[in-house]
Amino acid sequence: MDMTRATRITAVLALFSLGIVMVGPAIGQPDQKKDPLPTDRVMRLVRLLLEQEHISERELDDTISERAMKGYLESLDPLKLYFTQRDVNTIRKLEHDLDDIVRRGEDSFAHLVFKTFMKRIEERIAFIEKVIEEKIDYTTREYFITDPEVAVYATNQEQIDRRWRRRLKYDHLRLKLDKVEGAEARDQILRRYRNFRRRMRQVDAEEILGFFLGAITHAFDPHTAYIAPKPYEDFMIGMRLNYQGIGAHLQDQDGHIVITKVIPGGAVSKYGKLKDGDKILGVGQGKGGDILDVVGMKLSDVVKKIRGKEGTVVRLQVKPKGGGDTTIHELSRARIHIKEDRAQSKVFDIDGVKVGVIDLPSFYSDGAAARRGVKDYRSCTRDVRKLLEGFKKDGVDTVVLDLRWNGGGLLNEAIRLTGLFIDKGPVVQVKDGRGEVSCYNDRDAGMAWKGPLVILTSRFSASASEIIAGAVQDYKRGLVVGDPSTHGKGTVQQVMDLGDLITRRGKPPALGALKITMQKFYRPDGDSTQLRGVRSDVVVPALTGEVEGESSLDYALEFDHIPAAKHATLAMVSPAIKGQVQQLSKARTDASAAFKKTRTDIARYRKLRDLKMVPLEEKAFLALQEDRESGPEVEVPQSTNDETLRIRKDDFLSEVLRIAADYTKVLKGTV
């Protein structure tokens, strides 16, 4: 970096500290002495990996710096309610220097921007406290902007005050919908913003680094990301589908840690004396010693204190839901298996055709258990194979593999799982930044399921889901049914543990990880699924088809094509077969009152989705909200151990089951 640029960076940082964003150490000021994370080392390592390993093979240059600046500001203040135009003008003096800041491993810029943000939070809450008792005129014709792309930064105090009065009016109107008004509404609003301030005050250096490096990494593509140590631990738990704890989901509610869900089979479930809604006021370790007060403590810190080695004791000081005496509960930590994210199945009889549905929410595997030689380690391929074996015993005719809510997961599992439905051959081709192409094959001869196959997809189906859908389509192995196309994520990420990369001996330091896009994947026929996704053979009308895909994301990589890999094709799909099934489905959905409503809902959904602002005149606001509440919403199913809730025979699935039955009959020539 030349001296002119270095001098400019130093001068701007000095300008920050001289008063434009000066704020006391108690406000958003992480205690660096208590944070062991070597941020300079992490920044340099992330920069090195981005420049050497990212598929784009581009340097961390001025363009990336511009993107990262925009991303960092928007990650903190998406609706532009806190930062002022003056703040942004000052911050953007370094718009082309973030690349050099990262190279030097300096985190002062990230912290100073966050301190500015905290100062503005304090100012806005002081304003709220000042005006919260003011009478609101609900007859004024004005609007509150809800689209971040339309919002702009305020340029003076008058604009700031006007904007926040509108924001508060918006908050009041939303509460009015729930019949909350007057003093109760004011208390709720004030408490909400004070809680936001409290959570932001708890942000530490590790999290600030995560915000900043997140903006840097996302400037390369939407899926490259720095994962700070604490989120990385949670990420690995999700991949393993198990952890050591008490078996409960917790949530921060107004500074209290509340049990929101008891996991079946966990320590809390077996203990039987704690329930949803109970508040955890304190945590103690072992059978003796003090109970630490956790009221107001950051949720992630409380979770860390509750988790621990299997078989050890944790004591919880709990206030029961609805009142009652505070009690100390002693529980032994246990290994919690998160079964709710595993494959599940259900069999339906449709006009004499038995259709087996497998719901697969992700491509998971407990790799650590596999390396330890655990015989029955968790793997989606192993789970699906067992379900298919059960289908064969039950005399199932056709399989529907439901990937509607499957956003991806482990590439190896996607390849292995595809191998359950093809004999052997290429499943996916992968190209790196140097243009080198590798082909990943299913090498296991034979199929776990040879019968008719339907792959059910939606715009939420991404990455590894698209590998399976694309391979099944290219092999003419089965039908792809659902939304017009899948999400369009045709990139391959690798998660690199930064501590592992620099450690040769002993336990690696917790530096977090970099999830980096290193390759793009391609179907056996050579098309990338990037941006375009996998197009369905039979489209079933649904709101999910209106959800934006990869093409809507900032800095998404482009679609391209490579030569096809040699592979077999089966006679299970042809234009004639597709045409028959399409015609039968269209006739049903055209005549169906349920799907007529779906098409009407789609039109309303598009109209409501495209709104940029909401009216604050009460009658207009209530009319709009009534339209929204009575209007359609894309409902993402909640995780649950109850497969009758995961696999629900609604109008949409009923049509998919009929398509599967039609497909079976067409193949047999019995339609």
pLDDT, tens digit, for every residue of 597-618? 999 999 999 988 889 999 999 9
The CA-based angle 179-184-189, given to 5 degrees, is 95
**Which residue in the list 463, 465, 485, 585 is annotated as catalytic?**
463
Strands 425-432 and 513-522: antiparallel
Does the pLDDT at position 314 exceed 60?
A: yes
Does the pLDDT at position 589 exceed 60?
A: yes
Q: Determine the pLDDT at residue 266.
A: 77
Does the pLDDT at position 391 exceed 50?
A: yes
Q: Determine the pLDDT at residue 305.
A: 85
CA atoms of 497 and 507, how far apart (whole Å): 12
SS3 609: helix
Q: Determine the pLDDT at residue 256.
A: 78
Averaged pLDDT for residues 441-466:
95
Does the pLDDT at position 526 exceed 50?
A: yes
SS3 202: coil
One fold for 242-337 and 339-668: no
User: Are the CB atoms for 480 and 537 separated by under 8 Å?
Assistant: yes
Averaged pLDDT for residues 384-401:
98
Amino acid at 229: P
Question: Would you tell me how many other CB atoms lie within 10 Å of the CB of residue 152?
Answer: 11
pLDDT range class, residue 660, cuts 50, 70, 90:
very high
Q: Which residue has the higher pLDDT, 223 or 334?
A: 223
SS3 313: strand
Most confident of 19-23, 411-415, 477-481: 477-481
Give domain limits for the chain: 3-220, 242-337, 339-668
Supply the pTM of this predicted model: 0.78
What are the backbone angles phi and psi of residue 173, rounded to the nearest 5°? Answer: -65, -40
Averaged pLDDT for residues 405-414:
91
Candidate from 169-178, 292-301, 575-584 with smallest mean pLDDT: 292-301
pLDDT range class, residue 6, cuts 50, 70, 90:
low
Is 458 tagged catalytic? Answer: no
Q: Determine the pLDDT at residue 311.
A: 82
- Architecture of the domain delimited by 242-337: Roll (2.30)
Q: Determine the pLDDT at residue 4.
A: 53
pLDDT range class, residue 405, cuts 50, 70, 90:
very high
Averaged pLDDT for residues 319-342:
77
Rounded percentage of the chain residues whose pLDDT exceeds 90: 65
pLDDT range class, residue 12, cuts 50, 70, 90:
very low
CA atoms of 555 and 332, how far apart (whole Å): 47
Q: Determine the pLDDT at residue 333.
A: 83
Enter the tokens of residue 565.
């890999």
pLDDT range class, residue 7, cuts 50, 70, 90:
low
Q: Could you report the per-residue pLDDT of 421-430, keeping only the tens digit for each? A: 999 999 999 9
Q: Which residues, including other chains, have CB under 8 Å from residue 127's CB and lie 6 or more apart? A: 160, 161, 164
Q: Could you report the per-residue pLDDT of 551-584, keeping only the tens digit for each? A: 999 999 999 999 999 999 999 999 999 999 999 9
Does the pLDDT at position 73 exceed 60?
A: yes
Is 537 tagged catalytic? Answer: no
User: Are the CB atoms for 458 and 549 separated by under 8 Å?
Assistant: no
Does the pLDDT at position 108 exceed 90?
A: yes
**For all residues of the chain together, what is the average pLDDT?**
88
Topology (CATH) of 339-668: 2-enoyl-CoA Hydratase; Chain A, domain 1 (3.90.226)
Q: Could you report the per-residue pLDDT of 199-248, keeping only the tens digit for each? A: 999 999 999 999 999 999 999 999 999 999 888 887 776 665 556 677 78
Q: Determine the pLDDT at residue 638.
A: 58
Is 476 tagged catalytic? Answer: no
CA atoms of 553 and 556, how far apart (whole Å): 6
**Which residue in the list 80, 169, 230, 489 is annotated as catalytic?**
489
What are the backbone angles phi and psi of residue 475, rounded to the nearest 5°? Answer: -80, -5
**Which residue in the list 107, 474, 525, 601 is annotated as catalytic?**
474
Q: Could you report the per-residue pLDDT of 247-271, keeping only the tens digit for each? A: 788 888 767 788 988 877 677 888 8
Does the pLDDT at position 475 exceed 60?
A: yes
Does the pLDDT at position 19 exceed 50?
A: no
CA atoms of 170 and 152, how far apart (whole Å): 18
CA atoms of 44 and 584, how far apart (whole Å): 59
Averaged pLDDT for residues 310-335:
84
Q: Determine the pLDDT at residue 241.
A: 55
Candidate from 19-23, 96-100, 353-357 with smallest mean pLDDT: 19-23
SS3 127: helix
Averaged pLDDT for residues 135-145:
94
